[in-house]
Each structure stands twice: as C-alpha cells, then as structure tokens.
C-alpha cells in the first residue's frame, strides 16, 4: 500500500474525463441517468442515490492519480491501493479544514464510489461495452471520541489504473483548484485537452461546448454563463494557462507564453520541424492532436537526453509508435 504525502507533486488528470462529462457541473444533487454521445463514442452515467460525482469531487481522483504518478516517477511500481491523510488532501486541494469539510469527504466518496459508468471502447476493430466505477474499495478510519477522520484507504479501479499505466494523462495547473465555479473548471479541462499548446486553435461552438460540459441549462442561460466567465477573466487575467475569447458563439482559448515556456523543456524547444511536419503527423495520428503529441515528444527527448539527428523523422516515428500503442482517440 502506498501512503500519500503532502508534497509538491505535479497535478495529473486522466484524459477520458477531461474529454467527456464524467462529473456533474451542478452543485445540486443530480440523480438522473445520462447518456452523452460524441462522434462514434458514447458514455452512460448511472449515479447512486447520492447523485453523480461533481467536478469538485473529482479533486479526490486528481489527488490520488497525481500521488501515484509521482511514486511511479521515482521508480516505484504503480500502486492501486493508497492511504490518504484527510487533512493533507484538504490542504493540497486548497480547501478549509473544519468539521464540515471532513464530512464533505464522506459525501464525496459516496458519490464517486456509488456511480457506475458504461462506455464503448474500440480496440483492434472490436467494440467493447464496459461497465466500471472509478473506485474499487474504500475504507475510512474515524476517531470514536472526536468523530474526526483519521485515514482514508482507497483502491482505484482497474480502468483508472490502466489510464495511469498507459500515461493517458495531462498535467494541470495548480491554480485549477482556485477556480470556484464548476463551469470554469470544466472549461479549463476541455481547453487543456483540446487546445493543449496550440497557438492557433479553432475553438468550440457554444452548442458543442455545452454538450462536452454536460450542462442541462438552456442555450441562452449557458451563453450568459460563458460570457460572464470570459469577461471576469479578461478583467482579472486569472484563468490558468489560457486567455479566453468568446465571440459569435465560439469560445477560443490561447495558451499564455509562460505556460508554453514552463511546459516545454529547453532542450526540447531547440528541435526544429518544418512547416509540413504537422500535416504528415496528422495522416499518421488518426485524430490525435499533432501539437500535443509534439509536446510529448519534445518532453521525452529532453527527459531521456536523446540525441536526435533528424528531428522531423524522429518526431514522425514517435507519432507512429504513439498510435501503435494507443490506437485512435
């Protein structure tokens, strides 16, 4: 069993839940089953009596995944069973540490543990329907005298463990936890997954954005909420990693220079690709974002100190290996 510690680990999130609305963006309990479809992929959410996990509940999953990845990067075998100090979790996710906050952890676990998901996954031309949850086993230890939570032991599901092993993860800005509105968090996730580090991103139309957010509001109300978020962050410049632009019902996000500088190692930035490299990569990647894969390639080359004689050939070979390992998105 791996014991999580309050350290400066890098935030990691699984790409599947960043792309699809696994979590509710409403603060009110949402107990109704839902089905979301995107292209030829779909996901069904079957909530428990406590409701669908909210995007705030997702903090627990992000915390666990980040700790497991940090342990793996140190050479440890990726654990599925972890022990969490509730106080450390609350501090790490920038929450208060009062009695109600500890009670909220119990509600959070009940929503996450009780909700089941069903989705279709295509591997090798075969479509598989899969039922799964995010947690397999949860154990709470409580002080009988004070009623305070002492420890939380979690075994993550095989589905989540597989996402970690395959590195189907993206890094989040720590300021993600400072986003207090559910829709703000969801927009950041979608932008981080879809825009990534692309300097020119075509953006998302309002109706498609609403679908990816899993919002049940009317289109008019959803437009008002998006407008409000964009205007607020234009004034404060407080949105993590991206600037937001909303015009003619299209939301666009552009990576901030400091975000690009922070996430691409210096050695990786030195490698030069031609203007046609992404066109060639697009034909190989079958739907994966060439620029996102480029970032992973540059980071890998820098981390492993690989000597690259022909950057473009090396990048395209990396793209082919990426597709061979993961298939299509």
> Tokens 């825009």 correspond to what residue?
195
The C-alpha atoms of residue 238 and residue 142 are separated, in whole angstroms, by 38
Query: What are the tokens at 7?
Result: 């350290």
Which residues are 90's β-sheet partners? none
- Look at residue 128 in the predicted model and tell me its pLDDT: 58
Report the distance separating Cα 54 and Cα 23, nearest Å.
Answer: 5
pLDDT number for residue 124 = 38
What does the alpha-carbon distance between residue 186 and residue 209 come to, in Å, rounded to a whole number? 10
- CATH for 180-259 (3.30.1330.10, 2.60.120.10, 3.20.20.450, 1.10.10.10): 1.10.10.10
Closest CA to 112 of 190, 70, 58: 58
Distance (Å, whole) CA 282 – CA 118? 30
Residue 4: left if φ>0, alpha if ψ -120 to 50, beta else—which one? beta
329 residues of the chain, pLDDT tens digit each: 666 666 668 899 999 899 889 999 988 889 999 998 877 778 899 999 999 999 999 999 999 999 999 888 888 888 899 999 999 999 999 999 888 888 899 999 999 999 999 987 543 344 556 788 999 999 999 888 887 888 899 999 988 998 888 888 999 999 999 999 999 999 999 999 999 888 778 899 999 999 999 999 999 999 999 999 999 998 777 899 999 999 999 999 988 878 877 766 666 667 888 878 888 998 999 888 787 788 788 878 887 778 888 999 999 999 999 999 888 76
Nearest to 313, CA basis, from 267, 276, 263: 276
Structure tokens given for 108:
């959070």
221/219 Cα distance (integer angstroms): 6
297 and 311 Cβ atoms separated by less than 8 Å: no
Say how far apart CA 298 and CA 322 lie, in whole Å: 14
Q: How do strand 2-3 and strand 81-84 relate by DSSP bridges?
A: parallel
| Cβ atoms < 10 Å from Cβ of 253 | 25
pTM: 0.78
pLDDT at 126: 46
What lies within 8 Å, CB to CB, of 166 at 6+ separation is 325, 326
């Amino acid at each position: 069993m791996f014991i999580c510690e309050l350290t400066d680990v890098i935030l990691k999130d699984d790409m599947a839940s960043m792309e699809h609305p696994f979590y509710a963006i409403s603060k009110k309990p949402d107990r109704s089953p839902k089905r979301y479809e995107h292209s030829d992929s779909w996901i069904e959410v079957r909530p428990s009596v406590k409701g669908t996990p909210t995007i705030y509940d997702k903090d627990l999953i992000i915390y666990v995944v980040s700790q497991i990845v940090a342990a793996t990067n140190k050479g440890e075998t990726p654990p599925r069973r972890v022990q969490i100090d509730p106080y450390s979790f609350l501090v790490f996710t920038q929450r208060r540490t009062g009695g109600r906050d500890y009670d909220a952890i119990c509600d959070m676990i009940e929503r996450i543990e009780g909700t089941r998901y069903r989705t279709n996954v295509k591997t090798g031309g075969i479509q598989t329907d899969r039922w799964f949850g995010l947690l397999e086993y949860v154990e709470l230890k409580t002080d009988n005298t004070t009623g305070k939570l002492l420890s939380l032991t979690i075994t993550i599901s095989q589905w989540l463990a597989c996402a970690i092993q395959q590195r189907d993860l993206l890094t989040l800005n720590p300021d993600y936890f400072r986003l207090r509105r559910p829709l703000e968090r969801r927009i950041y996730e979608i932008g981080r997954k879809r825009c990534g580090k692309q300097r020119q991103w075509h953006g998302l139309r309002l109706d498609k954005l609403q679908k990816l957010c899993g919002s049940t509001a009317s289109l008019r109300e959803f437009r008002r909420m998006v407008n409000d978020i964009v205007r607020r962050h234009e004034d404060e410049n407080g949105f993590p990693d991206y600037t937001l632009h909303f015009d003619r019902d299209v939301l666009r996000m552009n990576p901030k220079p400091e975000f690009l500088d922070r996430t691409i190692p210096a050695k990786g930035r030195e490698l030069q690709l031609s203007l046609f490299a992404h066109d060639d990569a697009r034909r190989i990647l079958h739907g994966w974002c060439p620029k996102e894969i480029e970032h992973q390639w540059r980071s890998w080359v820098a981390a492993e100190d690989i000597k690259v004689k022909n950057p473009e050939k090396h990048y395209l070979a990396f793209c082919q290996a990426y597709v061979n390992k993961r298939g299509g998105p």
